[in-house]
Amino acid sequence: MKLTRIALIALMLTAFVFAVSAQTVLKLAEIHPQGYPTELADEEFAKLVNKYTNGQFKIDIFPGGQLSGDEKVVIEQVKINAVSIARVSSGALGSFNAQLNVFSLPYLFDSSDHMWAFLLSKPGMKMLDDLAPSGFVGLCWYDGGARSFYANYPLNSIADLKGKKYRVMPNNLLVKMVEAMGASAVPMAAGQVFSAVQTGVIDGAENNAPSLVSFNHYQVAKYYLLDEHLRLPEVLFMNKGVWDKLPKATQDAFRKAAAETVAFQRKAWDAYVIEATKKIVAEGEIIVPVPDKTPFKNAVKQLLAEEGPKFAQTLADIDAVRPKK
């Protein structure tokens, strides 16, 4: 009897010591390599989480698509908690959470300022919470700049897209967008684009300048037409089951850490857009500006008329923060 009690006390003591000293390690997946603006923000997030949880939580970052070069697979990994946290594009996440697809509507925002005015507004922040039914908790938004078409043949106007094959992220709305602009859409993972362009399976793709560098696409697609059809915010998010088990104080620490990385990432982003653009120009990329985007906007008018009503409230909220011209 006495022995059992001693054993019980010993067990409780061990459990207590373990609970105090145990460190929980969570994996974070990132498709971009070390030093890329979102990866730097992931690192900052990990550092702040560690600090605000007094070392109880450690976040291990797997950059450069180490866990998968396919963001769809990464999102599935977060869903089953094979990976607890990831940073992905809202274009990819839109296939898992229909509301996010509003960002896949072309020419949604007038500018980066407009996008951020919305993302940081109440309805914009609420979209992070609204990932819950998909099994995720949104932590914060990051900048993903503006996306434009690039190809392995000269690109000067929308007419040059006609009949060509362009890669899109696996998302039906993005397929429809590219087709409305006259090209055939080929959904595939970012990690496959380089060889697909190189071997002529596709003629081009669409992305921001930093991604042309991070995926080396500028090496095989020398023509970049700055039509800026999309501004897809990036999302840092995690598995909801893991989140729900965290004590409130830890959840607050995660939220505080995430919120503090936003300004950090935006600054790193702006600097890297300039650096990446300089790099691709130096490497021989032909960049064609598109001062008048009317032909592109006209091409997607019908699509917007069909898809817009699905996002009526969000579109009204986005309109409400549109900067005055």
Nearest residue to ligand BDP by CB is 190
CA distances from 193 to 35, 90, 156, 228 (A): 21, 19, 21, 19
Nearest to ligand BDP of 52, 116 (CB atom): 116
For ligand BDP, the closer of residues 75 and 158 by Cβ is 75
Least spacing, CB of residue 166 vs ligand BDP, in Å: 11
Q: Which residues contact 218 (CB under 8 A, 6 or more apart)?
A: 150, 212, 224, 279, 280, 283, 285
User: CA 270 from chain center: how many Å?
Assistant: 16
Burial grade of 305 (CB within 10 A; 0-12, 13-18, 19 or more): exposed
Please tell me whether residue 230 binds ligand BDP under the rule CB under 6 A: no
Q: What number of chain residues touch ligand BDP (CB under 6 A)?
A: 12
Nearer CB in complex with ligand BDP: 253/268: 268
Binding letters toward ligand BDP, positions 142-181, x by CB under 6 A = --x------------------------x------------
Which two three-digit tokens encode residue 300?
């997607």
68 makes contact with ligand BDP (CB under 6 A): no
State which residue, 191 or 241, has the beta carbon closest to ligand BDP.
191
One-letter-per-residue 3-state SS of 179-239: HHCCCEEEECCHHHHHHHHHCCCCCEEEECHHHHHHCCHHHCCCEEEEEEEECCCEEEEEE
Q: Which two tokens mark 53?
A: 């949880």
Cβ distance to ligand BDP smaller for residue 107 or 194: 194
208 makes contact with ligand BDP (CB under 6 A): yes
Can you read off the two tokens belonging to residue 186? Answer: 């080929």
- Contacts of residue 14, Cβ cutoff 8 Å, sequence gap at least 6: none
Rounded CA separation 31/206 (Å): 17
Q: Give just the sign of the alpha carbon dihedral 189, 190, 194, 196.
A: positive
Give residues 184-203 in contact with ligand BDP (rule: CB under 6 A).
Answer: 190
Site string for ligand BDP, 78-107 (x = CB under 6 A): ----------xx--x---------------
The minimum distance between CB 208 and ligand BDP, in angstroms, equals 5
Contact stretch for ligand BDP (CB under 6 A) within 50-58, 129-137, 206-214, 313-321: 206-214
**Interacting residues with ligand BDP (CB under 6 A):** 31, 71, 88-89, 92, 144, 169, 190, 207-208, 211, 234
